Chain A
Amino acid sequence: MTAAGGQGVDDKQSRRKRNLVRAITETAAAPVLALIILAVWQVGVPLAGISDFILPTPWQILRRIVVDHRLMATHAGVTLLETLAGFALAAVTGVGTALMIFYSRLFERAIYPLLVALQTIPKVALAPLLVLYLGYGFAPKLFLAFLLAFFPIVIATVVGLNGLDKAMVNLVRSMGASEWQTFFKVRLPSALPSLFGGLKVGISLAVIGAVIGEYVAAERGLGYLQLQASSQFDTTLSFAAMIVIAALGVVTFWSLEALEKRAVFEREAAR
């Protein structure tokens, strides 16, 4: 082997090493930052003489979650169900509405201003009314989750469908494609990245909707649990419930992202 060849191999090895180091650093960045924040919190609270009634330490919160895991799981299950039901309804009706907006100019003209107006109403303000109309049970939570998730799904789907190059439609039409074929071969696949963007925003908002519903009137769910804890000055439980709500948001978001990875071809992936 020539010296130059040896050099090349060395270069390759050092590059590979560099890439590996970078990959490890990037993966570790978020957990390390989180650990630093938690450590400062853990050490800082007793040092500053703050009582755990005002601000419990992370360790206390974690212990509480573990000790009360049955309680947590029961309430989390309720909130998760409300979130998923509201989100599913929003996904189906949102994509449906987007399709009608896309295919009918009249419908677009009629519905768009209403949608925007609806979107500007603070949904929290609706919550007490929903209790009045729908009662204390599952329905108002589902509805709030649906209401928050609906708008971003509609908008993202319409944007995705409109983003298709007119020439692309002409191309498939020149091959004799029906509108049905055009939709499934070209329109839908090219709208998918945007559609999934809307779904991901939607599912995180659905969690918020469900919890807001529980704040107002509920007998179950993480929002209810947190409100109860606060009213009994059990700050640690309140924090614990909040952490579980956040975890719920992250898990549902990730599940959707995992689905997206399977359904959507990433442009970058092939580069």
Chain B
Amino acid sequence: MKEPAPVTARLHGVSVAIENVTKTYELRDGGDLLALDRVDLTIAPGEFVSIVGPSGCGKSTLLSLVAGLVPVSTGKILIDGEEVRRPHAKVGVVFQTDLLLYWRSVMDNIMLPIEIKGWRRRDYLPRAARLLEQVGLAGFESKYPSELSGGMRQRTAICRALVQEPGLLLMDEPFGALDALTREQMIIDLQAMWLSVGSTVLFITHSIEEAVFLADRVLVMSPRPGRIDLDRTIEIPRPRSWRSRTDAKFIEYMSEIRGIFETRGVLKA
């Protein structure tokens, strides 16, 4: 197998500490909705952590909190020891849909965070080109989003999140809107990407298989109010491939997580 060329130097992955975080939303009828209930979690620098849970369990809320988009109700979130109060400069986010700006070319879309941060575009052009090459989009710099397939668009969105050299990559069901086959390939490619980039990754998904395949650690969240039910370290050597899925350990992890969903009533036998 061809090893992808590393994208400049490996990044310094940041650590994340989520300490006793609760999130309540005020409802229009005056009531409160408890979305997250006393979540405690630490992520080591460079670690790949997946959170898997049913729809509405607050996993996306947790990601918004770490991204600094929404304030916590109680508790605190620390990135490299620094409390999150607003979006952190070292964090890149990939959402479920690619959210590319249709009036900008691929390269101009990737440069959006650089422009917003007021950094010099030309300092990041080489990095952007390397990232595009790595996701198989070399030569697509001046194409427009409407000329790309769904998978290519999401790859562009990943490059956009990585161009700013994030110490932490937050991914909110990034492959949820893609077709099954594209998704398979994206999972493999994301693993390769992560191995060469070195950022810490917090990956939200509702696919148990996706979570186990990608992560160093899988966290299982309970239905609302979201709480962490299981924290399982995945001991399958990297790089993982199609064959890892038939690995006895892989199957064991999958059924353990399914079992939790079953006892929680998310999955029924």
Contacts and interface: CB of A to CB of B under 8 A. Distances in A.
Interface residues of B, number: 27
B93 A174 contact: yes
B242 interface: no
Interface size on A, as a range, is 20 to 34
B146 interface: yes
A190 B117 CA distance: 21
A175 B69 contact: no
A270 B104 CA distance: 11
Interface stretch (A58-66, A163-171, A239-247): A163-171
Given A170-B69, A267-B146, A270-B144, A181 B95 contact: no
| Central interface residue in A176, A265, A271, by most chain B CB within 10 Å | A176
A108 to B, nearest CB: 17
22 contacts: A165-B99, A167-B95, A167-B97, A168-B99, A170-B64, A170-B95, A171-B95, A172-B116, A174-B68, A174-B87, A174-B92, A175-B113, A175-B117, A175-B164, A181-B116, A185-B101, A185-B112, A264-B103, A265-B103, A267-B146, A271-B146, A271-B147
Given A174-B87, A174-B92, 9 more contacts: A165-B99, A167-B95, A172-B116, A175-B87, A176-B116, A177-B116, A186-B101, A189-B101, A270-B147
A18 interface: no
Given A167-B95, A174-B93, A175-B87, A267 B116 contact: no
B231 interface: no
Contacts, number: 60
Contacts of A181: 116
Contacts of A185: 101, 112, 115-116
Contacts of A177: 116
B18 interface: no
Interface in B79-117: 86-87, 89, 91-93, 95-97, 99, 101-103, 112-113, 115-117
Contacts of A261: none
B25 to A, nearest CB: 15
B91 A189 contact: no
B165 to A, nearest CB: 13
B102 A172 contact: no
A187 to B, nearest CB: 11
B91 A174 contact: yes
A103 to B, nearest CB: 19
B202 to A, nearest CB: 13
Nearest to B143: A270
B67 A175 contact: no
Nearest to B146: A270
A189 B113 CA distance: 17
A181 B86 CA distance: 16
A126 to B, nearest CB: 40
Contacts of A172: 112, 116
B69 A173 contact: yes
Q: Which 9 A-B pairs have the closest CB atoms?
A: A265-B103, A270-B144, A175-B113, A174-B93, A270-B146, A175-B116, A177-B116, A171-B99, A174-B67
Contacts of B91: 174
A264 B95 CA distance: 26
Interface in A124-180: 165, 167-168, 170-177
A167 to B, nearest CB: 6
B144 A171 contact: no
Contacts of A190: 101
Interface in B110-135: 112-113, 115-117
A270 B164 CA distance: 28
A190 B164 CA distance: 24
Contacts of B103: 189, 264-265
B97 to A, nearest CB: 7
A183 to B, nearest CB: 12
Contacts of A173: 69, 87
B146 A176 contact: no
Nearest to B145: A270
Interface in B171-211: none
A167 B89 CA distance: 19
A175 B112 contact: yes
Contacts of B99: 165, 167-168, 171
Nearest to B170: A174
A174 B170 CA distance: 10
A192 to B, nearest CB: 9
Nearest to A193: B103
Nearest to A171: B99
Contacts of A167: 95-97, 99
